Structure 1
């Protein structure tokens, strides 16, 4: 396998207008066997490559009607549109390092992309691994580190801005990571395999657990040779911290299972609707997570090889109970878009969310002479749902964004 590879936008130097709609490849190919969460089409890895090449934001069929499409649109569409028909005018490796590239466009736009392990400070922005800063006049877009946390933001230079404190997962991913450290061999072809589930937050409901042992030699089309599905003693809706399952059960390698190597894949699913849930870990695009490989020899001997953690720098980029991020004019752990309109600010959060608090500095967003008159929650049709209680301290107003409203209308007035 290739230990390291990096893109360089040579094709776009000649045919940018032809390649702009291509993203940076089909997600399964781009991942190359790595986790979807960390290297898939909605990951920082994939997005930073899209900005490196100046390509339009791409989304797959699982995300085109959900948070993934909206988030990527809010984050980078304005910048990408601004260079759609521009010509690439320069590519620079900073100090000869291909992991730090600066791409220049003939309309004055610049993109700084960090594909290296160490943080890179650019124009006051701290870029982590897979971070970037794109700027074209007043249009800006970035994935950066603020006060230690990796976050994202953008502005269109015309009164619309987007901030994402990443206090929650980027999609419907549950903040649960499965892992297996090893097995206890009980007898030939018989073993125990405790599964650890690290839950930063519980699942939305009690789910069942599937455990599949897969082999290319299996007769089934899905390549499952045998399995050990089970229901946890403690319901997944109550999980918090480290939870261990399957520790009290002996598993057998069936007599008809040939000697060889079996991929051990686990996950959570709802028997009522046969729906699987996305977790943190190595995803095979079917929400099945590899935790290791089971080696079975001809005499029934068993050996287990745990799955290595391939998260970028083993660093949490989402959730984890992080606090609110101060974006200067906005302080939040959630994701919102602010649109400055005549005598009002429209705050639209990403859908499919949990409740969170936001603080806005009205003076920084609009004018020091402006103050808040009222905040109204509205549904997706614009129908008013009621006034929202706010706390005002000087030019700053804070309120809670719930999981029901589509947007919030903040009425403002200017002192004369």
Structure 2
């Protein structure tokens, strides 16, 4: 469909959208940056689907899916907004989206695992987008549920946002299938998607529901937490990934020191049997919120630097509150460290004071003249140093420091 010369560049679609640059391409088509001439050249993204000429049934199905994607974008902040759709003169279907000038999650994860705070922020936003799609939209008076079928980091775009800091949006619902519709029943058995992120039932061509997207979501969560894929196929082929998704157990996460419950949640999403996974994305979001709340109620979290594999996400020791100060609880080791040098101070101070008193008394004794001896009289005893000692009469002040109160 697309040639190396790319005949669609600089082409005008629907007498409105002029294609200016190729933004990306994949198995399902190409995405172009375009100018919407009707609105003064504002930038939009146009996706041209790489599929053969469409018959009437395929046209109706594409139109229905385009309308569903447009409704989803209006329902959720975390799904890309679709504003228009059409079919070119040479039978190529396309749809028009908002242009998101940001990074894909795939590019972000190339640097390694995410800090824990960012992990929860992006996981929640991706989950909210999925939740909106799975709950469905009203289309022609009927509630329609939508599953993504190709959820992966490349289909999550993260852009800067003034209120949220960063905003994650799901894109490429172009191969989404509408549930509860007769038109989609004949197509649910065909495999469409990306091998590394497909559920076991998707690789088998079985009918899919929301739990297939939850499996893909689990792979993304695993990557976000560890910087690695949970499965390692023997070959990058359909048979290799089929065996990995059906037979291989995910690599353990224990050594990463994840918060309590997070590893169990991620691995439950990766269950081979759909019945063993969380039934809805709402369940996943609730558990993520519970885990995050448990972290925030204990102690500040030491986030690892992005890009460092195996960096620990474990919380530091909890802090105990004393008045307005936050004091780390004293363990046996820290108590010994704190008392070691300080407990010698009283003994040193006492020794120095005793030495000073002995030196002072000896000096007084040596300087005192001997009393005269009168014949026939008994010599009077020499007064002791303590008899001459009175307040303010030459006694040395106690300058030794008192022990520190810990």
Q: TM-score range by the shorter chain?
A: under 0.3
- Higher strand content, 1 or 2: 1
- What is the TM-score of this pair, normalised by structure 2? 0.22
